[in-house]
Structure 1
Amino acid sequence: MLLDARGIAHRFALGRPLGELRPLANGEGPSGTRVLETDRGRWVVKAEQVQGEWQYRQARETRRLESAALAAGVTMPRPAEPPAPAVGHWHDLAGTELVRVSEWLPGHDLRGPGHTSAAALQEAARWTGSTLARIALLGVESGCGEESRKPLHPLPDWHTWIEEAVAAGGPLATTARALLPSVEEATARIEHAERDRPPLVLVHGDTSRANVLRTPKGHALIDWDGAAADVPWWEAVGVAFRFTSPFNGPTADGDARVVRPLLEAYAERGGPVGASDASAFAGMLRSQLAVTAWCLWLALGHRRADAVRRAFGLRVVTTAARDLPGVLHSLDRWTALLR
């Protein structure tokens, strides 16, 4: 991070810092998030290296959705207004690093021990389903069309990355080879569903147990910087089937105790409901492939990945190679939970 506590507090007008920036844990994953305490409160600080125009595009789209959700009363952290030069809610540091600040919400996410009982998950699932419907009903259209969606990479690109992994040797080689059949099947399923897909709107894009907080005042949805264009029903289905996992990675499970409360609350709140066949999982599969591709790049050392991020990428790719075949095999059976 290019700025220290004093620099961030000064630029974002947060008051006088009471100490240095502290790392904010992200489960077993790497994190560029820090906590800053000032005489005006506690703040969450995120920093990202600039890697492409897509980050600026997503920042602008995210601001539009965040602003609409805040105005509608969705429970979420309020972002701090960034100083110029800014893009969305991010401060642009000479095209090298983007920094954003939001208010700190007290509470805990739904990953830790003691926070994942059946009753707690069902309560959180109902709140999440209702919240996803509220966001969908905002009807915030993407200003960038397909470019605002999570990427669906062509199969020749996957073959290139997997060949690179095989050439590098080591544990990634075996894992990457095992991954390819699932990537091919998932891509075919997504492309089939896309032929007759419903309209797109901007959605949160990263709703998971990692990003739903239980606070003293109830639940809240955090980490809005992954906003993307999607079919709202597809996102709701994907969140429901991945809510048994700590984050929106390659793992999914058809646990009726979680899936049904979330989707029922979504429908009761008026969220747009779509087909109850296997096409409803297209958004989930697209997100799973996007996460897996990103982590494969990290494991290969792309995107300026350091040793910690390379190890994280390998873990996620290994999980994908293990779990995606079972997910794909289960989709037709899981459609019963959509009705």
Structure 2
Amino acid sequence: MTAPAPSPGTPAVTALGGGHGLYASLSALRLMSDRLTAVVTVADDGGSSGRLREELDVLPPGDLRMALAALCDDSDWGRTWSDLLQHRFVSGGSLDKHAIGNLMIVALWELLGDTVTGLDWVGKLLGARGRVLPMASVPLVVEADVRRDAAPVRETVVGQSRVALTDGRIEQLRLVPADPPACPEAVEAVRSADWVVLGPGSWYSSVLVHLLVPELARALHETDARVCVTLNLAAERGETQGLTATDHLEALHRHAPGLRVDAVLADPSAVEDVDELAAAAEAMGARLLMRQVRRGDGSARHDALRLAAAYRDVFEGVYGDV
């Protein structure tokens, strides 16, 4: 089974993130380009992924699985295999809450002895419109310095699942190990892209962590690709509770002050002060693009078609208000 050849003239896009946020961006990007690469966080320590990571000493497969499912071929074949990847067992035993795709991915890693090759084989099975890669070659631990209310002393929160749910203000983010080996194919995907898309997603635990892998961060700073930051539709309970859209952008700038950003994409319903956000974007060298990308049901979820149209405007330089 071979993937279809990329269409000439479509942009090469590398999307960074994890979980439901990366699933949203990939679900949109696949509608406008088949030259896609997903670079996925590997710091998950909860649920099925965390159990497999601890028991078998492997990369947590869950976010990688979700990215593959987002890129599956839009056919009965692709949709069926995507549904199988996402299916979770419900039982009173040790298989409870395990996703079949997590088990499949880890089994391929054991059989083939190579992480990237295993992910490529799953992509072939799905007819995936793109490639899925880990951001690092080893599993990572996220640490965050958190200040709760007006407490004079910062608390260190350890683990992606705990950082995501913290009720304090995150001031600084770290990875353990601090200098992990980046996935070489992921670094090359950033360097060779036309566009790099950062976000949406859990801002600290899934998005900003990519900037803490030194070799990947270097590629992001040095690439000729243009960079689009996609802001979330709402602050999340936990790590970004109470943060404005501008706060999200300033957190990015704080963790990567030298990163050049070309475009910031936001939904008007998620922006408290448009002028303030535009000024923050301009300070990073970016233009702000306001587009309605939320689903029509009012939920804090992206509509794939609307988001795809917004990305097309970003890539083609159509920045007027719509």
Q: TM-score, normalised by structure 2?
A: 0.32
Structure having the higher Rg: 1
The structure with the largest helix share of the pair is 1
TM-score by length of 1: 0.30
